[in-house]
Structure 1
């Protein structure tokens, strides 16, 4: 894992699918000694033991990886044996539904949730909720740290902020850069913010609101 990995939309989708949907086990491996996962990635690797390259020699680190894999396989085998042990109690009945039916219902719920978030274009911006805003920014390749820093909750807030950017967005860039660097200990590059500004300016509203930045 690295900063580029955390910023990658494809990597984010892969991790969320493996961890949240498939419930897969994985070993977090950092390729840089000074990177610390935050935001969506940090939440999903809390707890599991991890490996960090550049902290020890390459050979020693590889040995740690192999050791963890072996230990994990032993743990999986142990868990499997516990599951296959004969039970003296009757299996629970879940409303006469098969496991396959439950899986299908779960998948349907997840698909509907994804479709609901991605249908933000059919909803007036004024009615957007936090998840609609997050999906819009994600589709426009806005860095997750920037999304988290602003933490817009309602579409009307986003529209008002768009008006605030119009006089001179560079004033806002200077201000938000300080907050960004203070929170994440890294620089917010101008091209990242320009992409964010472009996404905000592309929003359309049925109302007109004004704001002055002093």
Structure 2
């Protein structure tokens, strides 16, 4: 039996899934840079899996658009052109607005309570960003993601929610970099205040069950040219 094949069999399921998730998260968070080469040996050692399983994880992420496979050269963290980034963002805005409307139609006290809770945690993270953006930005993005997902979690469509989550995660590293590029405190504060105001309006629309207002606010917020929504 091929030892690499047996390694895949032993690690099929949870281990490979966990390693793939960890690699995807490292790419999304910007810990692995666009264009960076991903050697199979490095992936194997870093994520504690066999070489065959490392290739399986990399191949899976190729299919998801996180990794590029270049013939005779190996695997690389995928880059995203400005056009592709805008396309992803525009699609996310439309899908998230649709899921928000469906969530409002299926509203429940638990759904609204979840929005209040996630919004509160996001506001805490926004304040922390002003103190130390380099240290706080990933926690901010986690809470920003959680807030946006809380808006649509009641849509009743797991497939739609998965699509939106994937679009958010694929652009995560660019969103983080957009904030980290703001070295001037005044510029960072201005962007955070605009984002916080958007979130306040969106949360108010959700709690008021005003689907039309919330959809408009979400589209405008996500489609803003700063790439940091």
TM-score by length of 1: 0.23
- State TM-score, norm by structure 2: 0.22
Between structures 1 and 2, the one with greater helix share:
2
